[in-house]
Amino acid sequence: MQTITTDVIIIGAGPCGLFTVFEAGLLKWHCHLIDYLPTPGGQCSEIYPKKPIYDIPGFPSVLAGELVDNLVKQGAPFHPTFSMGERAESMEKLDDGTFRVTTSRGTVVNGKTVFLAGGLGCFEPRKPSISNLAEFEDRGVEYIIKDPEFYRGKKVVIGGGGDSALDWTIVLADIASEVTLVHRSQMFRAAPDSVQKAQDLAAAGKITMCTDGQVTGLSGDGKLERVTLTFNDNTTRDQETDHYIPLFGLSPKLGPIANWGLGLEKNAVTVDPLTFMTNVEGVYAVGDISEYPNKLKLILCGFHEAAVALNVEYQRQNPEKKHVLKYTTVTGITELA
């Protein structure tokens, strides 16, 4: 069991959690981030890394994945630490007013303040209903593509008709030895240009597209070796494959945070709209997880909330000091030890 002591405990390493690191660094505070996902970026990395965002001030267009890379770079001088692939399970306020957060792997993080930047909650994959699915999880069935190179030279069946399924079909066409996209209808929910690209790849014989069908069975000896496809006309056929990747979307669940005694509304945490503090003194909610009148679930609003909340917390911890806002153009960036 690992114990970490920091100034700011940040739950969620999405764009707003990452920007909290930068703003905290300006106040000379260290941060520790906890995220259930294996890599930082939240929705930007998991759902739409290759989509351009047009409403980040100062960037006429920036790919969501690029924005995340930049946020990680921007916070780097302040040396944040991370517990990735861990879910924050419990939060306690100790007698001395500090906080203790414990994760699903038993990591204990102690800090002076807690910033909830958990977005819509922990992303859990929507799973197809196949009776022996669990038997093949991580033995050929994956719900998230962490590293496309893992599939080099492999036979892959991708399920789904949304952006994620189409985008990964296109990427893996150049990496895997065989890619089959299986979708239960002929209508796709993905961006039209992705659908066109996949159809072009199919016409060129680089991938196979199976519409009006779905994967209904899995078999193999200790690892996945084949899938059974069932079509809408009730015909079935088996297909050899090394991997089946159902990309049916990620469904966010507020999860354990909902049981921490915080005010809740619309599956989010209610905050004071002037300070972004929750009903627990010293605990703030920024980004998509916070709820207040006229809340906009936009990245730029989360950035603003993080900046304001950190300065409120600074004043709370240092009531005797007059906090003077300093411009980074004047102070520059002072790396933390």
Ligand X SMILES: Cc1cc2nc3c(=O)[nH]c(=O)nc-3n(C[C@H](O)[C@H](O)[C@H](O)COP(=O)(O)OP(=O)(O)OC[C@H]3O[C@@H](n4cnc5c(N)ncnc54)[C@H](O)[C@@H]3O)c2cc1C
Residues of this chain that interact with ligand X (CB under 6 A) are 11-17, 34-37, 42-44, 47-48, 53, 55, 87-88, 117-123, 255-257, 287-289, 297-300, 302
CB closer to ligand X, 88 vs 179: 88
Q: How far is the CB of 86 from ligand X (least distance, A)?
A: 7
Q: Which residue number, 65 or 220, has a Cβ lying nearer to ligand X?
A: 65
Closest to ligand X by CB, 17 or 111? 17
Least gap, CB of 12 to ligand X (angstroms)? 3
When the beta carbons of 202 and 257 are compared against ligand X, the nearer one is 257
The nearer residue to ligand X, 44 or 156, going by C-beta atoms, is 44
Name the minimum Å distance from CB 251 to ligand X: 12
In whole angstroms, the minimum distance from the beta carbon of 205 to ligand X comes to 31
Nearer to ligand X (CB atom), residue 202 or residue 289: 289
Smallest distance from ligand X to CB 180, Å? 25
> CB of residue 13 vs ligand X: minimum separation in angstroms?
6
| Cα(7)–Cα(16) distance, integer angstroms | 17
Q: Which is nearer to ligand X, 88 or 210 (CB)?
A: 88
Q: How far is the CB of 257 from ligand X (least distance, A)?
A: 5
The residue number with the shortest CB distance to ligand X is 119
220-226 long-range contacts, CB within 8 A, separation 24+:
220/136, 220/139, 220/140, 222/139, 223/136, 223/139, 223/140, 224/136, 224/139, 224/140, 224/141, 225/140
